[in-house]
Amino acid sequence: QLQLVESGGGLVQPGGSLRLSCAASGATLNDYAIGWFRRAQGKEREGVSCTSRTDGYEIYADSVKGRFTISRDNAKNTVYLQMNSLKPEETGVYYCAVSPDFVQHMCGLEFGEYNYWGQGTQVTVSS
């Protein structure tokens, strides 16, 4: 059974950087589109970024464009989210999710499009 485990969260000052990891077991991430989502306290879950199964197609939420980068290491069966210039309002729990249902060169930022979720990792941006 596919399992996803996020790591890399923590406390960072405003303007700082973190790299989140999402390690998969039980399946090969090559077969899935992957998304990163976050939920700030008191807010709805928000799609941050996604990447397709193939072709390197990526989507970023407007709020993170130019600051966040999604990538995958197929050899390690892991996907990453590099987050730079972090802001206090980006504090929250960050989740990775995967879906086998997108066509090969597509992904999306709607949480209902994803089938499997990790448990999340807390990111706190504060001075």
pLDDT in tens, 37-55: 999 888 899 999 999 988 7
pLDDT of residue 55: 77
DSSP 17: -
Percent of all residues in the chain with a pLDDT value above 90, rounded to a whole number: 86
> Cα–Cα distance between 79 and 74 in angstroms, integer?
8
Q: How confident is the model at residue 32 (pLDDT cuts 50, 70, 90)?
A: very high
Tens-place pLDDT, residues 67-94: 999 999 989 999 999 999 999 999 999 9
Q: Does an H or E element contain 123, and which?
A: strand 121-125
Q: Is the CB of residue 114 less than 8 Å from the CB of residue 4?
A: no
Work out the pLDDT band at 125, boundaries 50, 70, 90. very high
